[in-house]
Amino acid sequence: MIKDLNRKEILLVDDDTDYSDLTRTRLEASGYQVSCVSSGREALQLLEGEYQPSLIIMDIEMPDKNGLTTLININVHKGMGQKEKSHIPVLVATGLQSEKVREVMMAQNVNGYLKKPYDSEELIQAVKSLIG
């Protein structure tokens, strides 16, 4: 895939390929460039390198490394010399409906929270509010 340097890049982290495909289609139709990974471990591997998206959209319920563990790891990296990545906003997108889950996520420096299922308008509005 050829990267368009003028388009904002979003890292989508979700193990549900149907959801990822639909979300990618919605975001690309709105002018964003999207990279998808299916686990927190893959997301961390990308972020440990030179990759620097404009936004991370993260599911919570994933095998391997769930979203909470991944967010904690991202926050640890921010505090250990990867300050250039400290400004990357994170939007949590989850089917978990518990208010406690939302509180825990927001305590991890999350910038937004979407409850699945959500419609295209909610998704695009949340993304635009964070990165334009």
Residue 32 Cα to chain centre, angstroms: 13
What pLDDT is stored for residue 109 in this prediction?
76
What pLDDT is stored for residue 9 in this prediction?
96
Q: How much is the average pLDDT of 25-44?
A: 94
Exposure b/e, 12-49, CB count within 10 A at least 16 = b? bbbbeeebbeebbebbeeeebbbbbbbbbbbbbebbee
Please give the domain boundaries of the chain with CATH numbers for all domains.
9-131 (3.40.50.2300)
Mention every residue, 6+ apart, whose C-beta is less than 8 A from residue 65: 39, 40, 41, 44, 73
Mention every residue, 6+ apart, whose C-beta is less than 8 A from residue 86: 78
Range from 91-95, 109-113, 114-118, 123-127 that averages highest in pLDDT: 123-127
Closest CA to 114 of 92, 84, 81: 92
- pLDDT tens profile 63-110: 776 667 777 776 655 544 555 556 789 998 888 777 777 777 777 778
